[in-house]
Structure 1
Amino acid sequence: MSPAPQYLSGRILLALPGMFDPRFVHAVIAMCVHDEKGALGIDVSRQHESLRFRAVLEEAGVPPGEAPDVPVHVGGPVEPQRGFVLHSTDWGGHGTIHVGKLWALSFSTDVLRAIAEGRGPSKWLFALGYTGWGQGQLEGELRHHGWHAASGHGEVLFDPAPDQRWKAAWRAEGIDSALLASETGRA
């Protein structure tokens, strides 16, 4: 009898040094869904060069109102035109998935309207696209020196600057990222 699979919803994936896919070097992925069918996460470590949140609201037909003009995150390479709001659990509405007790993921215009009206979640970020894996794909990458499955550190997702989240997440794990090797040994 094989052991039960370890699902990673509510955890953070950290790209290991030597990551085989250049799109994910120093990536910090908030895992939102992981089950026998596959996995979905939002990369919180990268932002679009010039795309801003208020422009996205206007494009979606939502008056920007009180919404700050923050950068838009690159959530991942899958469906890069689809928007997601990763946020604190103090807001929930239509199209919201609560991921444990640390964060939630919303994908309807309800959350966009709430943010624009000043009644949205206390902490949030907007991302276009997501990071996805098919059935068994993530498990294979975890076995081949791609990712570290960190604990769910909610403060890492929203507080440090995106380019500092990778180091902050390793610190939250009690690991100095400068000491990580880019290759694994062979016995």
Structure 2
Amino acid sequence: MVAEKTPVIDTLTGSFLISTPKMPDPRFEEQVIFICAHSHEGAMGIAVNKPNPFFSLSEILRTANLPVPDGELPPVHIGGPVELESAFILYQSDYQAEHRLEISPTISLSRETKILEDIAFGRGPDKYLFLLGYAGWGPRQLEGELLADGWLTLPADDHIIFDVADEEKWRMAAMLYGIDISTFGDMIGYA
């Protein structure tokens, strides 16, 4: 008997995972996950299109005794089902934080509270998402899910993350590469 091997993917860091209509986990239905870290030890990503209807950034700033800046603030997002009490800020790297994970040349992720303070005082990043929680996978777990056609991997796009309306990100991320994600399951075939 030969053990089935899960193929090893070099790295998906900085890529999108777009859930397909075949996604078996309803928590990830029509989700766009931005992969922040991926190695032989597993993967970590954040959903960039799932606003949290129960929290607003202005409430979070007030709770932290910080001023609420003028203008419209982005919604608080649910980054994934893991550690929903943990806050992250995904932002364009033209703003520099001392403690950050550089995901790509243009995007970083941080949990540094100084960024929230800078946002409150108008010194923060121009484009950012405030997220609660993340999505995580153990060693080879994500690769197994990719084999089951639950996810489509595509290069990430900053415009999709920061400028497209949340309800359009899932469809638009796939359409950038000519894929109608709503019919993706009908196109899958095996040679």
Task: Tell me, yes or no, whether TM beats 0.5.
Answer: yes
* CA shift digits 1:50-71 (9 cap, x unpaired): 3100111223343334574432
Q: Which moved more, 1:143-152 or 1:59-68?
A: 59-68
Alignment of 1:33-48 (within 5 A): 33-48=37-52
Are the structure 2 counterparts of residues 69 and 143 from structure 1 closer, same or farther at C-alpha, using a change threshold of 3 Å? same
Aligned mate of 1:85, from 72, 84, 89 = 89
Partners in 2 of 1:139 and 1:176 — Cα distance?
23
TM-score normalised to structure 1 length: 0.90
How large is the Cα RMSD of the aligned pairs?
Answer: 2.1
Partners in 2 of 1:147 and 1:83 — Cα distance?
25
The answer to whether the Cα contact below 8 Å between 1:66 and 1:115 also exists between their aligned partners in 2 is no
Alignment of 1:1-187 (within 5 A): 5-66=9-70, 68-181=72-185, 184-185=188-189
Structure 2 segments unaligned to the other structure (5+ residues): 1-5
Partners in 1 of 2:165 and 2:133 — Cα distance?
19
Partners in 2 of 1:35 and 1:154 — Cα distance?
22
The answer to whether the Cα contact below 8 Å between 1:43 and 1:131 also exists between their aligned partners in 2 is yes
Partners in 2 of 1:124 and 1:65 — Cα distance?
14
| Cα shift at 1:124 | 0.6
Percent of paired sites with the same residue: 38
Matched residues, number? 186
TM-score normalised to structure 2 length: 0.88
Partners in 2 of 1:68 and 1:95 — Cα distance?
26
